[in-house]
A and B are shown apart, each in its own frame.
Chain A
Amino acid sequence: MHWVNVAVMLVMITSGWGIYDDDVIVRGFHFSPFWRLGDWAAWSLNWHFAGMWFLVINGLFYLGYGFATGRFREKLLPIRPAEIVRTVVDTLHLKIAHEDITVYNAVQKLLYIIVILAGIAQVVTGIAIWKPVQFSGLVSLLGGFQTARVLHFAGMTVIVGFLIIHVTLALFVPKTLWAMLTGGPKLKPRTRVEGGHAT
Chain B
Amino acid sequence: MRSPFRPDSLPDPAILDNHRPLINSLERRGLLRGGLSLGALVMLTGCDVKRPEAVKSALLAISRLNDDVQALLFNPNKLAPTYPASMILRPPKFNAYYDVMNVKPVDGATWRLEVSGLVADKRPWTVQDLQALPQSSMVIRHICVEGWSYIGGWSGPTLRSFLEHVGADLRARYVAFRTADDYPSSIDMATALHPQTLLATAYGGDTLTDPFGYPVRLRMSTKLGYKNPKWITAIEVTNTYPGGFWEAKGFPWFAGL
Chains A and B touch (C-beta atoms under 8 A apart)? yes
User: Residues on A close to B: CB < 8 A?
Assistant: 3-4, 6-8, 10-11, 19-20, 22-23, 25, 41-43, 45-47, 49-51, 53-54, 127, 131-136, 138, 140, 145-146, 149
Closest residue of A by beta carbon distance from B223: A133
Distance of A20 Cα from B147 Cα, bound (Å): 8
Distance of A149 Cα from B37 Cα, bound (Å): 31
User: Which bucket holds chain B's interface residue count?
Assistant: 35 or more
Residue in contact with B250 in the complex, picked from A19, A42, A127, CB distance below 8 Å: A42
What are 9 A-B pairs with beta-carbon distances under 8 A?
Answer: A10-B45, A22-B145, A41-B146, A45-B251, A46-B252, A50-B63, A132-B141, A133-B221, A134-B75
Assess whether B26 is interfacial by the CB under 8 Å rule: no
Q: Interface-forming stretch among B54-62, B101-109, B179-187?
A: B54-62
Residue in contact with A136 in the complex, picked from B43, B63, B80, B252, CB distance below 8 Å: B80
Distance of A8 Cα from B42 Cα, bound (Å): 6
| CB-defined contacts of A51 to chain B, threshold 8 Å | 42
Closest residue of A by beta carbon distance from B147: A23
Assess whether B133 is interfacial by the CB under 8 Å rule: no
Q: Are A138 and B4 in contact (CB under 8 A)?
A: yes
Residue in contact with A3 in the complex, picked from B43, B143, B250, CB distance below 8 Å: B43
B interface: dominant SS: loop
Q: Are A46 and B81 in contact (CB under 8 A)?
A: no
| CB-defined contacts of A131 to chain B, threshold 8 Å | 73, 256-257
| CB-defined contacts of A10 to chain B, threshold 8 Å | 45
A interface: dominant SS: helix
Distance of A6 Cα from B43 Cα, bound (Å): 9
Distance of A163 Cα from B45 Cα, bound (Å): 16
| CB-defined contacts of A145 to chain B, threshold 8 Å | 141, 143, 149
CB distance from B245 to the nearest CB of A (A): 12
Assess whether B97 is interfacial by the CB under 8 Å rule: no
Distance of A178 Cα from B56 Cα, bound (Å): 34
Interface mask (B47-90 → A, CB under 8 Å = 1, otherwise 0): 00000000010111011001000000111001011000000000
Assess whether B158 is interfacial by the CB under 8 Å rule: no
Q: Are A46 and B60 in contact (CB under 8 A)?
A: yes
Q: Are A133 and B222 in contact (CB under 8 A)?
A: yes
Known contacts A23-B144, A42-B250: A7-B222 contact under CB 8 Å: no
| CB-defined contacts of A47 to chain B, threshold 8 Å | 59
Q: Are B59 and A46 in contact (CB under 8 A)?
A: yes
